[in-house]
Amino acid sequence: LFQPSPNIIRLKESATLAVAAKARALKAAGKAVIDLGAGEPDFDTPAFIREAAAEAMVAGHTRYTATEGVLPLREAIAADANRIQVQGTPVTPAEVVVSNGSKQSLYNACVCCFGPGDEVLVPTPSWTSYYEMIELARAVSVPVFGDAANSLKVTAEQLAAAATPRTKGLMLNSPSNPTGAVYSREELSAIFTLAAERGWWVIADEIYLRIAYEGGAQSALEVAPTRDNLIIINGVAKAYAMTGWRIGWSIAPVALSKAMNAFQSHTTSNASSISQYAAVAAIARREEADVAVNAMVQSFRERRDAVVTALSAFPSVRYVHPAGAFYVYINVEGFRGAADPGAAFAAAVLDEYGVAVVPGGAFLTPGWVRASYATTQSVAVDGVTRIAQCLTA
Ligand code: PLP
């Protein structure tokens, strides 16, 4: 009886999940699979954060909270944002809305800023959910393709060329999922200046901000000439190894924050009260958190270095230089003459070499695959070596 409503008529199932399902089925059948498909840190949440959650539960923080999140958490988020040299006035808790993961904040922002007739520029390749969220908001996602010579990043000129009078906003993700590329301060500055001139919203997804290996990654807060058109998205998932806790947030102008809060109040209400107090510990107990985060980033860095060394043994294999996040994006154009080389390669490398990767078609670039090194160093090295062998066989 079910007929999809016009709201979801164009909704596609996540391609990332399809590969994961196949890898799981092979594992269940007893086959050894090297899983480089994961999009989450392999570390446990630091102990002091888990203890803070247990304490919150015992202390009775088990009821509904304000939709926008408890004040101590919004204060901690604002204080954390103000650790860097913020342009203009400091961030205040009134600009912060806490949600059930940065994914929800991204969706809140898309629904509240964009609607029918609006176009939203999406530097591509990009995380698969951006396109779907924009379409769910009944706006149009406009992919803007980056050049391989520029680590698949887009330039302000490319964005300007893709714009029309209907352009309403822009998604920006640095460090990037799926490429691991990091935008420089100059690149960001040019893009934010263009967006401010044109009056576009910029949704800056900074979920991987702390996971950057070469001098760090710049936040929009320190680069953008104004915050009037800026929505910062972040969360605890990747930096603090807290994917399951589901805490994200937006930092946006107060009027927009109120709208996002109203929207969230009718869809999910507040994020888990216990997770919110765990997040307070993660963000406010800076010294302990910095020790834990730095150790995880150092470990990612060592794996990144090992992966790059392993790939360098195969000079014909091209990939985006992985400067942040925990992904390496590998070119598979021309693989066995397939129409969708990324999908063909992902299937072949799983069947023949026992390695699970995500086909680049999920990120609108079918000539590539994404491998995650959020796994032990030996597994990551073994995995990318097999990928290179499959590519060069
Ligand atoms: N943004 C990007 C670019 C991501 O890769 C992910 C998760 O994979 C998210 C947002 C979602 O994170 P959260 O767990 O906070 O919803």
Instruction: Check if the beta carbon of residue 235 is closer than 8 Å to that of residue 101.
Output: yes
CATH code of the region 61-284: 3.40.640.10
pLDDT tens digits, 313-356:
999 999 999 999 999 999 999 999 999 999 999 999 999 999 99
Substitution candidate for ligand 1 out of 207, 232, 242, 268 with most atoms within 8 A of CB? 207
17-43 pLDDT, tens digit per residue, is 667 788 888 889 998 999 999 888 999
Pick from 103, 128, 205 the residue to mutate for probing ligand 1's pocket: most ligand atoms within 8 Å of its CB: 103
Handedness of CA 237, 282, 232, 208 (dihedral sign): negative
Which tokens is 194 given? 């263009």
3-class SS of residue 187: helix
Q: Which residues contact 384 (CB under 8 A, 6 or more apart)?
A: 36, 307, 310, 311, 328, 330, 371, 373
Per-residue pLDDT reduced to its tens digit, 256-280 = 999 999 999 999 999 999 999 999 9
Residue 216 contacts residue 245 (beta carbons within 8 Å): no
Q: What is the pLDDT of residues 141-169, one digit of tens each?
A: 999 999 999 999 999 999 999 999 999 99
Q: Decide: 120 and 114 in contact? Cβ < 8 Å.
A: yes
Q: What is the pLDDT of residue 87?
A: 79
Residue bearing the CA closest to ligand 1, atom 5: 177
Q: How far is the CA of 127 from the centre of ligand 1 (A)?
A: 8
- Nearest to 106, CA basis, from 126, 124, 86, 85: 126
State the pLDDT confidence band at 16, using cuts at 50, 70 and 90. low
For range 359-387, the mean pLDDT:
96
6: how many CB neighbours lie within 10 A of its CB?
7
Report whether 156 contacts 191 (CB < 8 A): yes
**pLDDT of the residue at 272:** 98
Which residue has its alpha carbon closest to ligand 1 atom 7?
A: 39
Chain region(s) in the chain for CATH 3.90.1150.10: 15-44+289-392
Q: Does the structure show a pLDDT above 80 at 86?
A: no
Phi-psi region of 30 (alpha: psi -120 to 50; beta: other; left: phi over 0): left
Radius of gyration of the chain (CA): 21
As a whole-number percent, the residues of the chain with pLDDT over 90 amount to 90
- Say what the ipTM of the complex is: 0.99
Phi-psi region of 10 (alpha: psi -120 to 50; beta: other; left: phi over 0): alpha
User: What is the reported pLDDT for 289?
Assistant: 96
Q: Is the CB of 220 under 6 A from ligand 1?
A: no
Whole-angstrom CA distances from 271 to 119, 241, 383 are 30, 17, 37
Does any ligand 1 atom lie closer than 6 A to the CB of residue 101?
yes
Q: From the CB of 248, is ligand 1 less than 6 Å away?
A: yes
Fold assignment, 15-44+289-392: Aspartate Aminotransferase, domain 1 (3.90.1150)
Per cent of the chain over pLDDT 70 is 99
Please report the pLDDT score of residue 17 as a whole number. Answer: 67
CA 102 / ligand 1 centre spacing (Å): 6
Q: Helix or strand or coil: residue 127?
A: coil
104 three-class SS: helix
CA 281 to centroid of ligand 1, rounded, Å:
21
pLDDT at 14 over 80: no
Ligand 1 mean position, distance from CA 161 (Å): 28
378 pLDDT above the threshold of 80: yes
Task: Out of 37-41, 116-120, 234-238, 260-264, pick the least confident.
Answer: 37-41
Provide mean pLDDT across the span 105-119: 97
Residues 280, 122: Cα–Cα separation, whole Å? 32
For the question of whether the overall pTM of this predicted structure is more than 0.90, the answer is yes
Q: Which ligand 1 atom is nearest residue 236's CA?
A: 15
- Pocket probe for ligand 1: among 17, 106, 127, the residue whose CB has the most ligand atoms within 8 Å is 127
Would you say 35 and 356 are in contact if contact means Cβ atoms under 8 Å apart? yes
Q: Give 207 Cα–ligand 1 centroid separation in angstroms.
A: 6
List every span in the chain annotated with CATH 3.40.640.10.
61-284
**Of 121, 132, 241, 208, whose CA–CA distance to 171 is shortest?**
121
